[in-house]
Structure 1
Amino acid sequence: MTLAEIETDFEPQLDKEAAGAPPSVLGKAYLLLAAFDDGHPRLGLTELSRRSGVPKASAYRLSQELVALGFLDRVDNSYQLGWRVFELGQRVPGPAQLRSVARPVLMDLHTATRAVIHLAVPRGNDTVHLERIAGRRDSRVQTAIDTRIPQWFTASGKIFLAHSDQADEALSALERGEVIPLTPHSICNGRALRSQLAEVRERRWAAEREECIEGYKTYAVPITVAGSTEVVAALSATMEVARRDDQQVTHALWAAAHDIGRGLRRRLVW
C-alpha cells in the first residue's frame, strides 16, 4: 500500500468517527462531507451515496441543501466540497494558530535543510499533516496537507505514540497482524515498535527509514509549549537516505521546534 492509497482506500461508514455519527440528518450530512478526499475530489450522486452509506434519495436531498448552504458545490453532474468547508476549517483555533506561528519557522527550516518539512498533530491513531514545505525536486514525497497516515509508520507518529497513554491500542493492532505495510521496510511488529518507542522516550526524537517511502528517511522532534512538557505537535524533516548530514538536520529541527514552542507560549494557544 502507498501513501496515496491511504487516502483513496476509504469508506466513510467504516471510519471510527463516522461510525459514531447518529442516524440523523446531521449524521448523514457528516457522512456525505466525509466521503470526499484527495483521491475523490468530485463525486457523482451514485458514488457519493455508495461511499457515504447514505441512501441515494436522502443523499440527493441533503446534497441539494448542502449546496445551498455552501458546503458543497455542484460541478456538471458531480459534487465537490464548497468554500464554506474551507472557511470554517480555517477558524478551528488550535490548528489555525499553530500553523500561523509555525509557518515562518518551517520556511526557514526548509531553506536551511533542503528537506521536506512537515508539521503534524495526532488524530486517533493517525498522524495528520497540518503544513508541508517542499521544493520542486521533492515530487516523490506525496504528502498533502490533511493527509492521515498510521502513526506507527511515521517519525512524527512515533513521537505521539511514545508520549501517549493510548499507545497500547496501536501496539495491539500490530500484534494482531491487522496492519498493512506501506513499504517492505515498514515495521509491522509490535515488539519492534515497543523497542522503538522506548528509545524515543529516552532520546526525545524519532526516526523512520524507508517505512513510508522507499529511498527516504525522516527525523522528527516534539513541539511543546514553552514551560510545558505536553506534546502538542511534531516537526519532521524527510530527505533521501543517501544524505549524510543527519546530525545537522536534527539540530535544526530542535531549534525550530523550540522557536515554535516559544511562539505558542506568546499566543497562549494551549
Structure 2
Amino acid sequence: MTSIIESSPSRQRTATGPTVFRVQDTTADDSVLGKVHLLLRVFSPTLTRVGLTELSRRSGIPKATTYRLASQLVDLGYLSKTGKEYQLGWKIFEMGQLVTGPARLSAVARPTLIDLRSASNALIVHLAIARGNECVYLERIVGRREVPFLLTPSMPILSSASGRVLMAYRDSRRQAVTELVGREKAETALAQLETIRSRRWASDNGELVPGLKTYAVPIALVDRQRVPAVISVTVPADRKDDQTILHALWSASADVGRSLDRR
C-alpha cells in the first residue's frame, strides 16, 4: 500500500553506521525544561555519546547554556560524563522502568518477539505503541546480521506501517488525520486506514529504506477493538513469502494478546 500522505522523516547516514531516521522535535519551548528536553533528545541508538560542541549544535542551544544545563544534569544523574563526552545517566534508565504500562507490555511481549524474529528470519522485529501522534518503539529485536537502518525511539504516526495500524484503530482517527494531512487529503487517508483495519495489517515497501519492506499487525485484546500495541517485522524486499510472514505475525500478536488478557 502506498503510504498515507505525510511528510517523511529526514534521513541521515553516518560515515561508519547505518541509515538513521530522525524526527525534528517541535514540542519544546524556550523554558529551562524545554531546553533540557532538547538536550536529552539529541541522544539516539546511534549517538549514545556526544561532546559539548556537538550537543550544542544538535540541540540548537548556545554552547554556554548547554554546558551549564549539562553539568546540572550530570550532578542529578540524568547525564553522565566520560572524558569530554556526555551520555544518558542511570537516572534515566531507573525512571524508565517506572513507566508501568510500557514496561509491563515489553516484559510480556519480549519472549514472543524473540521467537518471531527467529521463525520469520526477519532483520528486525519491533513492538510499538501510540503516544499522541507519535509511534513509539518499545522493543527492537535484531539478529547477528548487520542491520542497514535504525529508527529513532519515535516517529510521526503516519510515516510507518506500525503507526498506520495504530491510527487505524484509534477512535478519534478522523479528527487526528484531518489535523495531520489536511481536509483535502483526509478522506483518502481515512479510506486507507479503513482498509488496514479490515484486513488487520499494514506495510511499507521501500518507503523508509529502499530494498526493505515491513509488515505490521495489531495486538488485540479479547474484545478485538482495543489495540494497545503493534508488532512489525522488517525483511528484504525481495522476500516472496508475504503470507507466511503475516501468519507468523498474527500468531505472535494473538499470543501476546492472550498473555495480556490473563494479567
- The one of the two structures with greater contact order (alpha-carbon pairs below 8 A, sep at least 6) is 2
Structure 1 residues 62 and 98 mapped into 2: Cα distance closer, same or farther (>3 Å)? same
Aligned to 1:170: 180
Structure 1 residues 65 and 137 mapped into 2: Cα distance closer, same or farther (>3 Å)? closer
Taking the aligned partners of 2:132 and 2:107, their CA distance within structure 1 comes to 23
What amino acid sits opposite 1:163 in the alignment?
Y
Q: Give the secondary-structure state (helix, strand or coil) at the position aligned to 1:99.
A: helix
Aligned to 2:226: 230
How far is the alpha carbon of 1:192 from its aligned partner? 5.9
Q: Percent identity?
A: 45
What amino acid sits opposite 1:6 in the alignment?
F
Q: Are the aligned partners of 2:55 and 2:66 in contact in 1 as well (CA < 8 Å)?
A: yes
Matched, 1:104 2:111: yes
Q: Are the aligned partners of 2:177 and 2:189 in contact in 1 as well (CA < 8 Å)?
A: no
Matched, 1:147 2:153: yes
Structure 1 residues 206 and 37 mapped into 2: Cα distance closer, same or farther (>3 Å)? same
Q: Are the aligned partners of 1:226 and 1:264 in contact in 2 as well (CA < 8 Å)?
A: no
What amino acid sits opposite 2:125 in the alignment?
I
Q: Which runs of 5+ in 1 are unaligned?
A: 176-189
What amino acid sits opposite 1:123 in the alignment?
R
Aligned to 1:246: 242
Q: Give the secondary-structure state (helix, strand or coil) at the position aligned to 1:213.
A: coil
What TM-score do you get using the length of structure 1 for normalisation? 0.78
How far is the alpha carbon of 1:195 from its aligned partner? 4.1
Aligned to 2:166: 160
Aligned-residue CA RMSD in angstroms?
2.7
Taking the aligned partners of 2:74 and 2:42, their CA distance within structure 1 comes to 15
Q: Are the aligned partners of 1:236 and 1:253 in contact in 2 as well (CA < 8 Å)?
A: yes
Aligned to 1:218: 214
Aligned to 2:11: 2
How far is the alpha carbon of 1:100 from its aligned partner? 0.2
Structure 1 residues 174 and 160 mapped into 2: Cα distance closer, same or farther (>3 Å)? farther
Aligned to 1:205: 201
How far is the alpha carbon of 1:63 from its aligned partner? 2.1
Matched, 1:71 2:78: yes
Of 55-64 and 209-218, more deviation after overlay is shown by 55-64
Number of aligned residue pairs = 243
Per-residue CA deviations over 1:108-148 (Å, capped at 9, x if unaligned) read 111211113111112343322211222223522x235x532
Between Structure 1 and Structure 2, the one with more helix by share is 1
Taking the aligned partners of 2:260 and 2:109, their CA distance within structure 1 comes to 9
How far is the alpha carbon of 1:226 from its aligned partner? 2.8
Q: Give the secondary-structure state (helix, strand or coil) at the position aligned to 1:153.
A: coil
Taking the aligned partners of 1:49 and 1:61, their CA distance within structure 2 comes to 11
Taking the aligned partners of 2:210 and 2:187, their CA distance within structure 1 comes to 23
What TM-score do you get using the length of structure 2 for normalisation? 0.80
Aligned to 1:32: 39
Structure 1 residues 225 and 114 mapped into 2: Cα distance closer, same or farther (>3 Å)? same
Taking the aligned partners of 1:158 and 1:70, their CA distance within structure 2 comes to 36
Structure 1 residues 210 and 265 mapped into 2: Cα distance closer, same or farther (>3 Å)? same
Aligned to 1:181: none
Matched, 1:255 2:262: no
How far is the alpha carbon of 1:16 from its aligned partner? 3.3
Structure 1 residues 110 and 173 mapped into 2: Cα distance closer, same or farther (>3 Å)? farther
How far is the alpha carbon of 1:102 from its aligned partner? 0.2
Of 125-134 and 100-109, more deviation after overlay is shown by 125-134
Q: Are the aligned partners of 1:109 and 1:252 in contact in 2 as well (CA < 8 Å)?
A: yes
Taking the aligned partners of 2:159 and 2:190, their CA distance within structure 1 comes to 13
Q: Give the secondary-structure state (helix, strand or coil) at the position aligned to 1:231.
A: coil
